[in-house]
């Protein structure tokens, strides 16, 4: 179960290193519990690229070092933008196996050190280097082709895509840790700078610094721990081809379908049982495809239901009440952990002004590359 969480402000955080962000999030998570840092058995660090962003390889031991925990095992997990979700998954497996009792899964990224062109280049390295990157692809370019394919097949238009951005920006108004807390209109989103046709600036998530942490302990021992009680109901992971062009269908991700199915099966739950979602809206079209591929809406209807408000905070299935990657920000390694933190906040009644009423199950979907890695989690309110 999740016993505690920590989450730094997301944004351009200036003169700070990723390990300082990690320590800040970790201390906050520990303070929710009755644990002190010496009780952490193992650390899983989700981080895309301390090497490119901060010229630091072998970042994992730097975390126990800066926490004053020398000799505690620490492992960095890299799975592109799914690094954070995968660090949580491995933390859960370590506890579920019975090998560890107290695990820290923490994700972070310090991205604003570099000029934007370098950051874009670093992110592009998550695609297939030889057959995609060297021919000129960018991630906005890859998702632009998916947006076009979705539009051709299902009629998902620019207004529907913009409605994802508008909704998530609106949600972020109630999240004081979010990078952007400014209302956005459909017109402004649709008329912003073209990045890769048809995706404009407001279809894309930003460059962000930040960290998020969770403390994972065995559910059976819950009586021993103070803090929150959010039960891990299931987790899943799936992989697909490195290159987008090696897949037959551009209107969704098989990985999302497979991972979501596994997560539902392992939890003995169905989509109708889930009360809210945090999904990977690195681009607006990605959220539309996610809510379809996970099985919450019929394929092709994701754009229309978003435009109709069904996934707004007051809709029947709130999606990205935190503001999502789009407005909360997307510090790569932190993102998947931040999704878990948001679900834990909602399920423990700690989401303040954006608290959803009467929620029992929340689900996450964290995506790496052009969907080459997907990680899903289902969490349950524990009393």
Partner 1 sequence: MSRNLVAENWRLERSRYLLVGNKCTECEKYYFPNVQICTDCNISKLDEYVFSGKGKLIEWTKIYEVAKGFELFAPLYYGIIELEEGVRVAAQITEVTDDTKLIPGIKTQMVFRKLFEDGSQGVLTYGFKAEPQI
Footprint on this chain of partner 1 (rule: CB under 8 A): 52, 117-118, 120-122, 124-125, 130-138, 140-141, 144-145, 148-149, 152, 193-198, 243-246, 250
Find the shortest distance in angstroms from Cβ 251 to partner 1: 10
CB of 128 to partner 1, least distance (A): 9
Residue 58 backbone dihedrals phi, psi, to 5 degrees: 55, 50
Q: With respect to partner 1, which residue has the nearer C-beta, 140 or 369?
A: 140
Q: In angstroms, rounded to a whole number, what is the distance separating the alpha carbons of residues 382 and 222? A: 10
Can 7 be counted among the known catalytic residues? no
Write down the least CB distance from residue 337 to partner 1, Å: 26
- Between 100 and 150, CB nearer to partner 1: 150
Sheet containing 230-239: order of strands = 74-77, 42-46, 103-110, 209-216, 2-7, 230-239, 373-381, 361-368, 276-279
- Alpha helices by DSSP H, 97-244: 116-124, 139-154, 158-172, 186-190
Nearer to partner 1, 252 or 323 (CB): 252
How far is Cα 146 from Cα 45, in angstroms, rounded to an integer?
A: 31
Distance (Å, whole) CA 359 – CA 277: 11
Instruction: Find the shortest distance in angstroms from Cβ 202 to partner 1.
Output: 14
From the number of C-beta atoms within 10 Å of its C-beta (0-12, 13-18, 19+), residue 58 rates as exposed
Minimum distance from residue 146 beta carbon to partner 1 (Å) = 8
Of 150, 171, 330, 377, the active-site residue reads: 330
Q: Which is nearer to partner 1, 130 or 223 (CB)?
A: 130
Query: Would you call 204 a catalytic residue per the annotation?
Result: no
Among 7, 81, 100, 282, the active-site one is 81
**In this structure, what token pair is assigned to residue 361?**
């199950």
Residues labelled as active-site residues:
81, 330
């Amino acid at each position: 179960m999740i016993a505690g969480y920590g989450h730094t402000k997301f944004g351009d955080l200036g003169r700070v290193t990723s390990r300082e962000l990690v320590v800040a999030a970790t201390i906050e998570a520990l303070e929710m519990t009755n644990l002190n840092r010496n009780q952490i058995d193992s650390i899983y660090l989700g981080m895309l690229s301390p090497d490119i962003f901060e010229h630091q390889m072998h970042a994992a031991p730097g975390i126990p070092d800066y926490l004053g925990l020398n000799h505690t095992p620490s492992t960095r997990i890299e799975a592109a933008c799914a690094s954070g979700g995968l660090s949580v998954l491995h933390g859960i497996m370590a506890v579920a196996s019975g090998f560890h009792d107290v695990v820290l899964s923490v994700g972070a990224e310090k991205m604003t050190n570099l000029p934007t062109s370098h950051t874009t280049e670093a992110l592009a390295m998550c695609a297939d280097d030889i057959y995609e990157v060297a021919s000129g692809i960018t991630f906005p370019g890859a998702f632009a082709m998916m947006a076009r394919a979705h539009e051709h097949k299902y009629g998902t238009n620019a207004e529907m895509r913009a409605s994802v951005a508008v909704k998530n920006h609106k949600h972020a108004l109630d999240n004081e840790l979010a990078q952007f807390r400014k209302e956005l209109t459909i017109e402004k989103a649709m008329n912003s700078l073209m990045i890769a046709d048809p995706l404009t600036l407001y279809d894309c998530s930003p460059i962000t610094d930040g960290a998020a942490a969770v403390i994972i302990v065995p559910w059976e021992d819950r009586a021993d721990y103070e803090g929150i009680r959010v039960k891990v109901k299931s987790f899943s992971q799936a992989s697909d081809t490195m290159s987008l062009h090696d897949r037959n269908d551009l209107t969704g991700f098989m990985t999302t379908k497979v991972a979501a199915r596994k997560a539902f099966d392992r939890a003995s739950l169905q989509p109708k049982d889930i009360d809210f979602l945090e999904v990977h809206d690195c681009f607006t079209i990605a959220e539309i495809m996610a809510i379809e591929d996970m099985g919450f809406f019929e394929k092709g209807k994701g754009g229309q239901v978003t435009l109709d408000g069904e996934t707004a905070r007051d809709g029947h299935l709130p999606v990205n009440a935190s503001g999502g990657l789009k407005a909360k920000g997307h510090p790569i390694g932190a993102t998947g952990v931040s999704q878990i933190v948001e679900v834990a906040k909602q399920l423990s009644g700690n989401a303040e002004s954006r608290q959803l009423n009467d929620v029992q199950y929340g689900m996450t979907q964290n995506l790496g590359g052009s969907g080459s890695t997907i990680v899903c989690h289902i969490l349950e309110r524990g009393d």
